[in-house]
Amino acid sequence: MEAVGALVDCGAALAIGLILGYRWTLGAPWHLVAGVIVGEVCAVTYFAIAIWAGRNWPGMLEARLVGMIFMGLVICAGLCGALGTWFGYRKSQGRGLFRDRGFP
C-alpha cells in the first residue's frame, strides 16, 4: 500500500513537472530548480496523506515503512519532477528528448 502511493506520487511529480516545463518562460537552469521543488512538494503531500490515513485507520499502514519510503521519495520525486520539467522545456522549444537541432 505504501509503495503504490509512492509510485503514484513519482508519477504525479513527473506529470506536473512536464506541464510546468512545457509552460516555463524563464531561463534554462531555473526550470530544473522548479521541478525539484515540485517533486519535494509531492513528497511532502504523500507523507501528510500517509500520516492522515495512519491516524484515522490504525493498523492500515506500517509507520517504519512509510518513513523509509518517504526518505527515498524525497530523492526520487525531486528527480522525477526535474526530469519532467527538463523534458517539457525541451519539448516547448521544439526539440526531442535527446536530439538537438543540429543533428538529423
pTM, 2 dp: 0.83
Spatial separation of the C-alpha atoms in residues 63 and 48, rounded to whole Å: 12
Residue ranges of domains in the chain: 2-92
Instruction: For residue range 23-52, list pLDDT tens digits in order.
Output: 877 777 888 999 999 999 999 999 999 999
CA distances to 2, 3, 48, 62 from 35, in Å: 23, 22, 20, 29
Residue 87 and residue 97: Cα distance in Å, rounded? 6
Q: Locate cell 519535494: which residue?
A: 40
